[in-house]
Amino acid sequence: MPKGLKKDEITFTFGKYKATANRDFKSFAEGYKIWRRTCSGLRGRAIGVSKAKKSLLGLVVGMGKVGRVAGNSGPINDIGWTYIDRELRKIFSLKGGREIKDSQLELLKNLDNLLEDYKKPNSPANPANIVFEEPLNWDDETGEVSERRNVYGHYLTEDYVDYRNEFKDANLTAVDSSWYSYTEDGSAKPPMWQALFSEDGILGKESKGLQQIVKDAIDSFANLGLSFKKDTPIPIQGRGSGAAALKIPEIKSMFTAFSRDDEFTTPAGNFSTDKAARIIRNTPINLTTKEHQNVLRSIESDLKIPNEIEEVYITMSRRQMKNMAVLAGWKPPVKEEPKEEEPKDTVRTSANIESTDWRTIMKVKV
Protein backbone atom coordinates (compact mmCIF):
# COMPACT_ATOMS: atom_id res chain seq x y z
CA MET A 1 0.00 0.00 0.00
CA PRO A 2 1.40 3.48 -0.87
CA LYS A 3 2.80 5.29 2.16
CA GLY A 4 0.37 7.60 3.94
CA LEU A 5 -2.80 6.12 2.41
CA LYS A 6 -5.52 4.64 4.58
CA LYS A 7 -6.85 1.16 3.90
CA ASP A 8 -9.67 2.17 1.55
CA GLU A 9 -8.29 5.53 0.39
CA ILE A 10 -7.20 6.05 -3.19
CA THR A 11 -5.42 8.96 -4.85
CA PHE A 12 -6.37 10.31 -8.28
CA THR A 13 -4.14 12.43 -10.47
CA PHE A 14 -6.00 14.72 -12.89
CA GLY A 15 -3.27 16.47 -14.83
CA LYS A 16 -1.68 18.84 -12.30
CA TYR A 17 -4.23 18.12 -9.59
CA LYS A 18 -4.42 15.36 -7.00
CA ALA A 19 -7.50 14.24 -5.09
CA THR A 20 -8.38 11.49 -2.66
CA ALA A 21 -11.49 9.37 -2.22
CA ASN A 22 -12.64 6.45 -0.09
CA ARG A 23 -14.18 3.20 -1.29
CA ASP A 24 -14.40 -0.50 -0.47
CA PHE A 25 -11.42 -1.63 -2.53
CA LYS A 26 -12.09 -5.33 -2.02
CA SER A 27 -15.56 -5.07 -3.55
CA PHE A 28 -14.25 -2.92 -6.39
CA ALA A 29 -11.58 -5.44 -7.42
CA GLU A 30 -13.57 -8.64 -6.82
CA GLY A 31 -15.26 -8.82 -10.25
CA TYR A 32 -12.00 -8.52 -12.15
CA LYS A 33 -10.27 -11.11 -9.95
CA ILE A 34 -13.09 -13.61 -10.54
CA TRP A 35 -12.99 -12.95 -14.30
CA ARG A 36 -9.25 -13.43 -14.51
CA ARG A 37 -9.30 -16.56 -12.37
CA THR A 38 -12.20 -18.03 -14.36
CA CYS A 39 -10.63 -17.37 -17.76
CA SER A 40 -7.26 -18.63 -16.61
CA GLY A 41 -8.80 -21.92 -15.44
CA LEU A 42 -10.69 -22.63 -18.68
CA ARG A 43 -8.41 -24.28 -21.22
CA GLY A 44 -8.01 -27.08 -23.73
CA ARG A 45 -11.15 -29.09 -24.44
CA ALA A 46 -13.19 -26.92 -22.10
CA ILE A 47 -12.88 -24.09 -24.63
CA GLY A 48 -12.64 -26.25 -27.75
CA VAL A 49 -8.94 -25.96 -28.56
CA SER A 50 -6.47 -28.76 -29.12
CA LYS A 51 -3.62 -27.28 -27.10
CA ALA A 52 -4.36 -28.09 -23.47
CA LYS A 53 -2.03 -25.36 -22.17
CA LYS A 54 -3.84 -22.57 -23.99
CA SER A 55 -6.27 -20.86 -21.59
CA LEU A 56 -9.19 -18.59 -22.37
CA LEU A 57 -7.31 -15.76 -20.67
CA GLY A 58 -4.36 -16.45 -22.98
CA LEU A 59 -6.65 -16.21 -26.00
CA VAL A 60 -7.97 -12.82 -24.88
CA VAL A 61 -4.54 -11.37 -24.08
CA GLY A 62 -3.15 -12.89 -27.28
CA MET A 63 -5.57 -11.09 -29.58
CA GLY A 64 -2.71 -8.84 -30.70
CA LYS A 65 -3.08 -5.18 -31.53
CA VAL A 66 -6.46 -3.53 -31.24
CA GLY A 67 -6.32 -1.91 -34.67
CA ARG A 68 -9.16 0.04 -36.25
CA VAL A 69 -12.64 -1.38 -35.90
CA ALA A 70 -15.71 -0.17 -37.74
CA GLY A 71 -14.25 3.27 -38.34
CA ASN A 72 -13.18 3.72 -34.73
CA SER A 73 -10.15 6.01 -34.67
CA GLY A 74 -10.01 6.65 -30.93
CA PRO A 75 -6.87 6.88 -28.80
CA ILE A 76 -6.90 3.17 -27.96
CA ASN A 77 -6.15 2.15 -31.54
CA ASP A 78 -2.98 0.31 -32.42
CA ILE A 79 -2.05 -0.69 -28.88
CA GLY A 80 -1.71 -4.32 -27.87
CA TRP A 81 -3.98 -6.38 -25.67
CA THR A 82 -0.89 -7.27 -23.66
CA TYR A 83 -0.61 -3.58 -22.72
CA ILE A 84 -4.33 -3.39 -21.94
CA ASP A 85 -4.05 -6.46 -19.73
CA ARG A 86 -1.09 -4.95 -17.86
CA GLU A 87 -2.95 -1.69 -17.20
CA LEU A 88 -6.07 -3.51 -16.03
CA ARG A 89 -4.01 -5.50 -13.56
CA LYS A 90 -2.61 -2.24 -12.17
CA ILE A 91 -6.03 -0.63 -11.83
CA PHE A 92 -7.51 -3.62 -10.02
CA SER A 93 -4.45 -4.50 -7.93
CA LEU A 94 -4.27 -3.80 -4.20
CA LYS A 95 -1.18 -1.62 -4.63
CA GLY A 96 -1.42 -0.04 -8.09
CA GLY A 97 -5.17 0.50 -7.83
CA ARG A 98 -4.75 3.00 -5.00
CA GLU A 99 -2.99 5.56 -7.17
CA ILE A 100 -5.00 6.22 -10.32
CA LYS A 101 -4.09 8.57 -13.18
CA ASP A 102 -6.54 10.22 -15.52
CA SER A 103 -4.90 8.30 -18.39
CA GLN A 104 -6.03 5.05 -16.77
CA LEU A 105 -9.59 6.32 -16.45
CA GLU A 106 -9.46 7.25 -20.13
CA LEU A 107 -8.20 3.75 -20.92
CA LEU A 108 -11.25 2.23 -19.24
CA LYS A 109 -13.64 4.50 -21.17
CA ASN A 110 -11.90 3.87 -24.48
CA LEU A 111 -11.80 0.13 -23.84
CA ASP A 112 -15.54 0.15 -23.15
CA ASN A 113 -16.14 1.99 -26.44
CA LEU A 114 -13.86 -0.41 -28.28
CA LEU A 115 -15.61 -3.48 -26.90
CA GLU A 116 -18.94 -1.91 -27.83
CA ASP A 117 -17.66 -1.77 -31.42
CA TYR A 118 -16.44 -5.35 -31.23
CA LYS A 119 -19.86 -6.50 -30.04
CA LYS A 120 -21.78 -5.12 -33.01
CA PRO A 121 -23.47 -7.98 -34.92
CA ASN A 122 -21.69 -7.15 -38.18
CA SER A 123 -18.26 -6.36 -36.70
CA PRO A 124 -15.40 -8.46 -38.11
CA ALA A 125 -13.72 -8.19 -34.69
CA ASN A 126 -16.69 -9.86 -32.97
CA PRO A 127 -15.58 -13.37 -31.89
CA ALA A 128 -19.02 -14.54 -32.95
CA ASN A 129 -18.08 -13.69 -36.56
CA ILE A 130 -14.75 -15.53 -36.82
CA VAL A 131 -15.24 -17.57 -39.99
CA PHE A 132 -14.28 -21.23 -40.58
CA GLU A 133 -15.09 -23.78 -43.29
CA GLU A 134 -16.69 -27.11 -42.54
CA PRO A 135 -17.20 -30.05 -44.90
CA LEU A 136 -20.84 -30.35 -45.84
CA ASN A 137 -20.74 -33.25 -48.34
CA TRP A 138 -18.03 -35.79 -49.05
CA ASP A 139 -17.45 -39.13 -50.69
CA ASP A 140 -18.21 -41.83 -48.12
CA GLU A 141 -15.43 -44.07 -49.44
CA THR A 142 -12.59 -41.68 -50.19
CA GLY A 143 -13.53 -38.79 -47.92
CA GLU A 144 -13.09 -36.31 -50.73
CA VAL A 145 -15.03 -33.19 -49.84
CA SER A 146 -17.38 -32.04 -52.56
CA GLU A 147 -19.03 -29.15 -50.78
CA ARG A 148 -18.10 -26.81 -47.93
CA ARG A 149 -19.86 -24.01 -46.11
CA ASN A 150 -18.95 -21.21 -43.78
CA VAL A 151 -19.51 -21.49 -40.06
CA TYR A 152 -19.01 -18.62 -37.58
CA GLY A 153 -17.78 -18.57 -33.98
CA HIS A 154 -16.22 -22.04 -33.65
CA TYR A 155 -15.13 -24.81 -35.99
CA LEU A 156 -15.88 -27.94 -33.91
CA THR A 157 -19.33 -28.49 -35.37
CA GLU A 158 -21.06 -31.86 -35.61
CA ASP A 159 -20.24 -32.20 -39.33
CA TYR A 160 -16.61 -31.19 -38.92
CA VAL A 161 -16.10 -33.63 -36.03
CA ASP A 162 -17.83 -36.49 -37.90
CA TYR A 163 -15.65 -35.95 -40.94
CA ARG A 164 -12.36 -35.64 -39.03
CA ASN A 165 -13.03 -38.62 -36.80
CA GLU A 166 -14.01 -40.85 -39.72
CA PHE A 167 -11.42 -39.93 -42.32
CA LYS A 168 -8.54 -38.37 -40.35
CA ASP A 169 -8.50 -40.72 -37.37
CA ALA A 170 -9.13 -37.79 -35.07
CA ASN A 171 -10.68 -38.04 -31.64
CA LEU A 172 -12.63 -34.80 -31.50
CA THR A 173 -15.75 -33.82 -29.62
CA ALA A 174 -18.27 -31.34 -31.00
CA VAL A 175 -18.81 -28.19 -28.94
CA ASP A 176 -22.11 -26.80 -27.74
CA SER A 177 -24.16 -25.65 -30.72
CA SER A 178 -24.61 -22.19 -29.17
CA TRP A 179 -20.90 -21.59 -29.79
CA TYR A 180 -21.34 -21.42 -33.57
CA SER A 181 -23.75 -20.18 -36.18
CA TYR A 182 -24.20 -20.52 -39.92
CA THR A 183 -25.02 -16.84 -40.31
CA GLU A 184 -22.65 -13.91 -39.84
CA ASP A 185 -24.92 -11.96 -37.53
CA GLY A 186 -23.16 -12.05 -34.18
CA SER A 187 -25.51 -14.70 -32.81
CA ALA A 188 -22.83 -17.28 -31.93
CA LYS A 189 -21.58 -17.33 -28.33
CA PRO A 190 -18.13 -19.02 -28.38
CA PRO A 191 -15.89 -18.92 -25.27
CA MET A 192 -14.06 -15.80 -26.46
CA TRP A 193 -17.36 -13.95 -26.89
CA GLN A 194 -18.46 -15.01 -23.41
CA ALA A 195 -15.15 -13.88 -21.90
CA LEU A 196 -15.61 -10.41 -23.40
CA PHE A 197 -19.37 -9.80 -23.32
CA SER A 198 -21.30 -12.24 -21.15
CA GLU A 199 -23.54 -10.79 -18.46
CA ASP A 200 -24.62 -14.10 -16.90
CA GLY A 201 -21.58 -16.36 -16.63
CA ILE A 202 -18.70 -17.76 -18.67
CA LEU A 203 -19.10 -21.41 -19.73
CA GLY A 204 -21.26 -22.06 -16.69
CA LYS A 205 -18.89 -20.30 -14.30
CA GLU A 206 -20.16 -17.40 -12.23
CA SER A 207 -18.34 -14.46 -13.80
CA LYS A 208 -19.21 -11.36 -15.76
CA GLY A 209 -17.59 -10.66 -19.12
CA LEU A 210 -14.75 -8.16 -19.36
CA GLN A 211 -16.86 -5.32 -20.79
CA GLN A 212 -19.33 -5.44 -17.91
CA ILE A 213 -16.44 -5.39 -15.42
CA VAL A 214 -15.00 -2.33 -17.20
CA LYS A 215 -18.41 -0.61 -17.12
CA ASP A 216 -18.75 -1.34 -13.40
CA ALA A 217 -15.28 0.14 -12.79
CA ILE A 218 -16.14 3.32 -14.74
CA ASP A 219 -19.33 3.74 -12.70
CA SER A 220 -17.43 3.08 -9.47
CA PHE A 221 -14.91 5.82 -10.24
CA ALA A 222 -17.59 8.29 -11.38
CA ASN A 223 -19.58 7.86 -8.15
CA LEU A 224 -16.69 8.64 -5.82
CA GLY A 225 -16.65 11.96 -4.00
CA LEU A 226 -13.27 13.67 -4.39
CA SER A 227 -11.33 15.81 -1.94
CA PHE A 228 -8.57 17.75 -3.69
CA LYS A 229 -5.27 17.87 -1.86
CA LYS A 230 -3.77 20.93 -0.20
CA ASP A 231 -0.57 20.73 -2.25
CA THR A 232 -2.52 21.11 -5.53
CA PRO A 233 -4.88 24.06 -4.86
CA ILE A 234 -7.34 25.28 -7.49
CA PRO A 235 -6.34 28.73 -8.86
CA ILE A 236 -8.98 31.45 -8.91
CA GLN A 237 -7.79 33.30 -11.97
CA GLY A 238 -9.10 34.84 -15.16
CA ARG A 239 -11.70 37.47 -15.96
CA GLY A 240 -14.77 37.21 -13.73
CA SER A 241 -13.39 34.31 -11.71
CA GLY A 242 -13.29 36.28 -8.45
CA ALA A 243 -16.97 37.24 -8.65
CA ALA A 244 -17.83 33.67 -9.64
CA ALA A 245 -15.88 32.19 -6.71
CA LEU A 246 -17.80 34.41 -4.27
CA LYS A 247 -20.96 32.50 -5.25
CA ILE A 248 -19.56 29.60 -3.23
CA PRO A 249 -20.79 30.19 0.35
CA GLU A 250 -17.61 29.21 2.22
CA ILE A 251 -15.48 31.47 0.03
CA LYS A 252 -17.98 34.32 0.38
CA SER A 253 -18.08 33.90 4.18
CA MET A 254 -14.30 33.94 4.39
CA PHE A 255 -13.91 37.17 2.39
CA THR A 256 -16.84 38.80 4.18
CA ALA A 257 -15.06 38.10 7.47
CA PHE A 258 -11.89 39.66 6.05
CA SER A 259 -13.78 42.79 5.04
CA ARG A 260 -15.29 43.29 8.50
CA ASP A 261 -12.14 42.68 10.53
CA ASP A 262 -9.84 45.68 11.04
CA GLU A 263 -6.93 43.25 11.37
CA PHE A 264 -7.04 42.83 7.59
CA THR A 265 -6.43 46.52 7.00
CA THR A 266 -2.81 47.61 7.25
CA PRO A 267 -1.72 50.83 9.03
CA ALA A 268 -1.19 52.28 5.57
CA GLY A 269 -4.86 51.60 4.75
CA ASN A 270 -4.34 48.69 2.35
CA PHE A 271 -5.94 45.23 2.38
CA SER A 272 -3.60 42.82 4.21
CA THR A 273 -2.98 40.16 1.57
CA ASP A 274 -0.30 38.53 3.76
CA LYS A 275 -2.79 37.65 6.51
CA ALA A 276 -5.48 36.67 4.03
CA ALA A 277 -3.09 34.45 2.07
CA ARG A 278 -2.17 32.42 5.17
CA ILE A 279 -5.81 31.72 5.94
CA ILE A 280 -6.74 30.95 2.32
CA ARG A 281 -3.82 28.57 1.94
CA ASN A 282 -4.83 26.51 4.99
CA THR A 283 -8.61 26.53 4.72
CA PRO A 284 -10.42 23.65 2.95
CA ILE A 285 -13.48 24.75 0.96
CA ASN A 286 -16.47 22.42 1.20
CA LEU A 287 -18.74 22.29 -1.84
CA THR A 288 -22.19 21.22 -0.68
CA THR A 289 -24.21 21.41 -3.91
CA LYS A 290 -23.74 20.62 -7.59
CA GLU A 291 -24.31 24.31 -8.32
CA HIS A 292 -21.27 25.26 -6.25
CA GLN A 293 -19.21 22.47 -7.82
CA ASN A 294 -20.15 23.71 -11.29
CA VAL A 295 -19.02 27.23 -10.35
CA LEU A 296 -15.57 25.80 -9.68
CA ARG A 297 -15.68 23.80 -12.93
CA SER A 298 -16.46 27.00 -14.82
CA ILE A 299 -13.33 28.59 -13.33
CA GLU A 300 -11.01 25.60 -13.93
CA SER A 301 -11.71 23.58 -17.07
CA ASP A 302 -9.51 20.68 -15.89
CA LEU A 303 -12.19 19.91 -13.29
CA LYS A 304 -14.78 18.89 -15.88
CA ILE A 305 -15.09 15.43 -14.37
CA PRO A 306 -18.28 13.53 -13.49
CA ASN A 307 -17.37 13.08 -9.84
CA GLU A 308 -18.79 14.93 -6.89
CA ILE A 309 -16.17 17.47 -5.78
CA GLU A 310 -16.52 17.55 -2.02
CA GLU A 311 -13.56 19.62 -0.90
CA VAL A 312 -10.84 21.78 -2.44
CA TYR A 313 -8.12 24.22 -1.48
CA ILE A 314 -7.80 27.43 -3.48
CA THR A 315 -5.08 29.88 -4.41
CA MET A 316 -4.98 33.26 -6.13
CA SER A 317 -2.80 36.25 -6.86
CA ARG A 318 -2.64 39.09 -4.34
CA ARG A 319 -4.35 41.34 -6.83
CA GLN A 320 -7.22 38.88 -7.13
CA MET A 321 -7.33 38.61 -3.34
CA LYS A 322 -7.83 42.36 -2.94
CA ASN A 323 -10.37 42.41 -5.76
CA MET A 324 -12.45 39.72 -4.06
CA ALA A 325 -12.18 41.50 -0.70
CA VAL A 326 -13.56 44.68 -2.29
CA LEU A 327 -16.39 42.70 -3.89
CA ALA A 328 -17.13 41.24 -0.43
CA GLY A 329 -17.38 44.72 1.11
CA TRP A 330 -13.88 45.76 2.18
CA LYS A 331 -13.17 49.48 1.87
CA PRO A 332 -10.02 51.42 2.59
CA PRO A 333 -10.41 53.70 5.63
CA VAL A 334 -11.49 57.28 4.92
CA LYS A 335 -8.65 59.72 5.47
CA GLU A 336 -9.60 62.74 7.61
CA GLU A 337 -8.55 66.14 6.32
CA PRO A 338 -6.09 67.72 8.81
CA LYS A 339 -7.28 70.98 10.47
CA GLU A 340 -5.31 74.11 9.77
CA GLU A 341 -3.81 75.49 12.97
CA GLU A 342 -3.25 79.24 13.45
CA PRO A 343 0.27 80.39 14.12
CA LYS A 344 0.88 80.94 17.82
CA ASP A 345 1.77 84.62 17.32
CA THR A 346 -1.51 85.43 15.60
CA VAL A 347 -3.18 88.52 17.09
CA ARG A 348 -6.93 88.14 17.33
CA THR A 349 -8.93 91.46 16.90
CA SER A 350 -12.48 92.18 17.77
CA ALA A 351 -13.35 91.57 14.16
CA ASN A 352 -12.13 88.02 14.54
CA ILE A 353 -14.14 87.34 17.68
CA GLU A 354 -17.77 86.45 17.50
CA SER A 355 -19.85 88.79 19.63
CA THR A 356 -21.64 87.04 22.43
CA ASP A 357 -22.57 90.03 24.66
CA TRP A 358 -26.34 90.55 24.51
CA ARG A 359 -26.02 94.32 24.35
CA THR A 360 -23.75 94.11 21.33
CA ILE A 361 -26.12 91.71 19.66
CA MET A 362 -29.05 94.07 20.30
CA LYS A 363 -27.13 97.00 18.81
CA VAL A 364 -26.44 94.98 15.71
CA LYS A 365 -30.06 94.04 15.43
CA VAL A 366 -31.16 97.61 15.89
Residue of 133, 148, 94, 88 lying closest to 112 (CA atoms): 88
Return per-residue pLDDT of the chain as tens, 366 residues.
444 445 588 999 988 999 999 988 889 999 999 999 999 999 999 999 877 678 999 999 988 655 433 333 344 555 788 899 999 999 999 777 888 888 899 999 999 999 999 999 999 999 999 999 999 999 999 999 999 999 999 999 999 999 999 999 999 999 999 999 999 999 999 999 999 999 999 999 999 999 999 999 999 999 999 999 999 999 999 999 999 999 999 999 999 999 999 999 999 999 999 999 999 999 999 998 999 999 999 999 888 788 899 999 999 999 999 999 999 999 998 876 666 665 666 555 555 545 444 344 344 444
Residue of 79, 65, 72, 68 lying closest to 107 (CA atoms): 79
Residue of 217, 242, 234 lying closest to 10 (CA atoms): 217
Q: Which residues contact 230 (CB under 8 A, 6 or more apart)?
A: 282, 284, 313
Q: What is the pLDDT of residue 273?
A: 96
Q: Are strands 225-228 and 17-22 parallel, antiparallel or unpaired?
A: antiparallel
Burial readout 146-177 (b: 16 or more C-beta within 10 A, e: otherwise): eeeeebbbbbbbebbbebbeebeeeebebbee
Q: What is the pLDDT of residue 68?
A: 35
DSSP state for residue 59 in the 8-state scheme: H
Q: How far apart are CA 245 and CA 40, in angstroms?
A: 52
Q: What is the pLDDT of residue 1?
A: 41
Q: Are strands 225-228 and 131-138 parallel, antiparallel or unpaired?
A: unpaired
Residue of 34, 338, 51, 303 lying closest to 195 (CA atoms): 34
Q: How far apart are CA 241 and CA 244, in angstroms?
A: 5
- The predicted model scores a pTM of 0.79
Q: How far apart are CA 336 and CA 199, in angstroms?
A: 79
Bridge partners, residue 205, by sequence: 202
Bridge partners, residue 314, by sequence: 234
Q: What is the pLDDT of residue 95?
A: 79
> Which CA distances in Å does 214 have to 75, 85, 207, 313, 320?
17, 12, 13, 32, 43
Bridge partners, residue 58, by sequence: none
